[in-house]
């Protein structure tokens, strides 16, 4: 299986990438690690006319501290994030979850930004960034804009990014000292999560419980009101519409959400 024909362009700067996007509009797709886009193209579920390779934009590969914020370049690979010393201290949930994505080969290519803009609700990092109160920074012809994660995941594979915009970085409040937990439930280690739960502090993100990554609002409210982990976790599936599939029904996913949320809360030190 090979992709339909397209024209390959490699951008060497962010501005060059933006210029190519401006030129080709909706006919173009950005290629970072390529581990969301190329599989779709090989199965011909996607067939862009122009592919703009941004993998060599070193200016978007970094993790740094900016005051109380951790700033992660959009082209940072999972492999790099998993071993990053700044994240280990200030966003250990992100580091840990990055090590759980796919397999080593995928982690050598896949990027944080690629995962976020692909906006697959079954992916791990969107829910992690959502739970982390992340802010996504995009650049376009009109300059830069900041989009809170809570406003970024609009629907399945849908974000507010325009075709001529490029995600450049993600900013998170430092999580140093906060408890965290990450529960990813799969049949095989390499599978996408049937359900996943990411907890940091008292924020709870849900993987694959609906068309977008979600916050477990009822659980978070209960925690704020002083509920125990058991009590709060029992509410984890409130207001969710999980996928209903032969190998994992919606009812089963709701059940898993409750079990995994309890486990993640306990891991985060919430009793």
Partner 1 sequence: MSIVGTRVVRVEDEKLITSGGTYVDDLREAALTGAVHAVFVRSPIAHARISGIDTEEAKQAPGVVAVFTAADLDLAPQQTGPVTEPFLATDVVRYVGEPVALVLTEERYQLADAAELVDVDYDPLDAVASIDAALSGETELFPGGGVTGNVMQVNGAEEFDDAVFADCDAVVTQTILNPRVAPASLEVRGGSVAWGEDGRLTLWLSTQNAQIARTTVAGALGLDEERVRVIAPDVGGGFGAKIGADPEASVLGWAARAVGRPVRWTESRSENLTAMSHGRAQQNTVTIGGKRDGTVLAYRIDVVQDSGAYPRAMFLPTLTEMMAPGVYRFPVVQTRSRCVVTNTTPIAAYRGAGRPEATAAVERAMDLFAAEIGMDPAEVRRVNFIRPEEFPYTTPTGGDYDTGEYAAALDKVLAAAGYAELRAEQELRRVAGDPVALGLGIAAYVEITGGDASGESGRVDIHEDGSVTAYTGSSPHGQGLATSLAMLLSDQLGVPLAKITVKHGDTDEVPRAVGTFGSRSLQLGGSAIRQAADEVIAQARELAADLLEAAPEDLELDTERGVWQVRGAPSSTTLDWARIVASAESTALSADVWFGDGKPTFPFGAHLAVVEVDTETGKVEVRRLVAVDDAGPVVNPLTFRGQRHGGLGQGIAQALLEVVNYDEDGNPTTATLADYSFVTATELPDFELVDMATPTTRNLLGVKGIGEAATIGSTPAVHNAVVDALAHHGVRHLDMPATPMRVWAALNDVRKAN
Partner 2 sequence: MRVSIEVNGRTTAGEVPDRTLLVHYLRDTVGLTGTNIGCDTTSCGACTVLLDGESVKSCTVLAAQADGHEVTTVEGLAGDGGELHPVQRAFREQHGLQCGFCTPGMMMASVSLLKENPRPSRREVREALEGNLCRCTGYHNIVSAVVEASGQEVDR
Binding site for partner 2 (CB under 8 A): 1-8, 10, 31, 34-35, 38-39, 42-43, 51, 53, 55, 79, 102-106, 108-109, 188-190
List contacts with partner 1 (CB under 8 A).
1-2, 4-5, 43-44, 185, 187-191, 194, 246-249, 252, 255-256, 259-260
Q: How far is the CB of 138 from partner 2 (least distance, A)?
A: 23
Whole-number Å distance between alpha carbons of 181 and 196 = 11
Per partner kind, with CB cut-offs from 5 to 8 A, the member of partner 2, partner 1, none near residue 79 is: partner 2
Q: How far is the CB of 126 from partner 1 (least distance, A)?
A: 19
Per partner kind, with CB cut-offs from 5 to 8 A, the member of partner 2, partner 1, none near residue 53 is: partner 2
Q: Is 81 exposed, middle or buried (0-12, 13-18, 19+ CB in 10 A)?
A: buried
**DSSP structural state of residue 122:** T
For residue 17, which of 225, 166, 163 has the smallest C-alpha distance?
A: 166
Q: How far is the CB of 202 from partner 1 (least distance, A)?
A: 23
For partner 2, which is the closer residue by CB, 34 or 92?
34
CB 169 within 8 A of CB 69: no
Give every CB contact of residue 261 below 8 A, 6+ residues apart in sequence: 183, 197, 199, 204, 206, 216, 219, 232, 233, 236
**Joined tokens for residue 29:** 């797709």
Q: How far is the CB of 2 from partner 1 (least distance, A)?
A: 6
CB 6 within 8 A of CB 34: no
For partner 2, which is the closer residue by CB, 102 or 173?
102
For partner 2, which is the closer residue by CB, 67 or 189?
189
Q: How far is the CB of 6 from partner 2 (least distance, A)?
A: 6
Per partner kind, with CB cut-offs from 5 to 8 A, the member of partner 1, partner 2, none near residue 31 is: partner 2
Whole-number Å distance between alpha carbons of 262 and 58 = 40
């Amino acid at each position: 299986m090979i992709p339909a024909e397209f024209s390959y362009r490699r951008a060497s700067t962010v501005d060059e990438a933006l210029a190519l996007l401006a030129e080709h509009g909706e006919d173009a797709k950005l290629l970072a690690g390529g581990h969301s886009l190329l599989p779709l193209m090989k199965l011909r579920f996607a067939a862009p006319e122009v592919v703009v390779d941004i993998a060599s934009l070193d200016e978007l590969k970094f993790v740094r501290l900016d005051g109380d914020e951790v700033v992660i370049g959009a082209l940072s690979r999972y492999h790099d994030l998993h071993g990053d010393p700044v994240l280990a201290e200030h966003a250990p949930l992100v580091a840990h979850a990055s090590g759980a994505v796919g397999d080593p080969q995928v982690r050598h290519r896949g990027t944080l930004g690629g995962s976020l803009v692909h906006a697959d609700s079954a992916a791990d990092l969107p829910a992690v960034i959502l739970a982390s109160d992340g802010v996504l920074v995009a650049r376009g012809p009109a300059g830069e804009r900041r989009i809170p994660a809570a406003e970024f995941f609009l629907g399945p594979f849908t974000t507010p990014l325009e075709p001529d915009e490029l995600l450049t970085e993600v900013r998170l409040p430092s999580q140093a000292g906060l408890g965290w937990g990450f529960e990813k439930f799969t049949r095989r280690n390499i599978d996408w999560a049937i359900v996943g739960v990411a907890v940091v502090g008292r924020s709870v993100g849900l993987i694959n419980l609906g068309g977008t990554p979600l916050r477990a609002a009822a659980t978070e409210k209960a925690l704020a009101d002083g509920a125990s982990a058991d009590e709060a976790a029992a509410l984890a599936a409130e207001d969710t519409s999980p996928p209903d599939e032969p190998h994992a029904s919606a009812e089963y996913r709701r059940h898993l959400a409750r079990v995994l949320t309890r486990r993640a809360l306990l891991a985060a030190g919430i009793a």
